[in-house]
Amino acid sequence: MTETLPADVALVLEAVLGEDDPVHLALRRQVPHLRVQSRCTCGCGTAYFALDTHAVEPAPSGPGTVVAAEVLVLAEDGECPGKVLVFAQGGYLSWLEVCSWSDGAEVTLATAERSLRRGRRPSPGAEAPG
């Protein structure tokens, strides 16, 4: 696939998949082969991927659909209005989801990226499958 990922998606994936565990390492190797197939229409930034699965090995994340990574999105005031999740299906990157927990604070890939630049904080109890 020759299309590059949009910068917002690429930056957030890089930050969320930043751990050096085997699952994150394998998923990061898939990123150059991703393209965005579609995006959520609400403006949150959720992106659904198409991936050339013949070009990469699957991550050891197990069968089925799993949350391969998740991080909290923190506002500048320290509040947590949502989180970002990365899903894998059968070991391959599938989609990046942006979740907002209230109508009072807009959570988008741009706000997630700013939060991640300030310091990555995993969701409580979140561990990469393995």
Helix/strand/coil (H/E/C) assignment for every residue in 42-100: CCCCCEEEEECCCCCCCCCCCCCEEEEEEEEECCCCCCCCEEEEEEEECCEEEEEEEEE
| pLDDT tens for each residue of 1-33 | 335 789 889 989 998 998 889 999 999 999 999
Token output for 97: 């989801």
Token output for 107: 């959570």
Print burial letters for 92-124: b (CB count within 10 Å at least 16), e (below 16).
bbbbbbbebeeeeeebbbebbbebbeeeeeebe
| pLDDT tens for each residue of 80-90 | 888 999 999 99
| pLDDT tens for each residue of 22-62 | 999 999 999 999 999 999 888 888 999 999 999 999 999 98
CA 46 – CA 98 distance, rounded (Å): 5
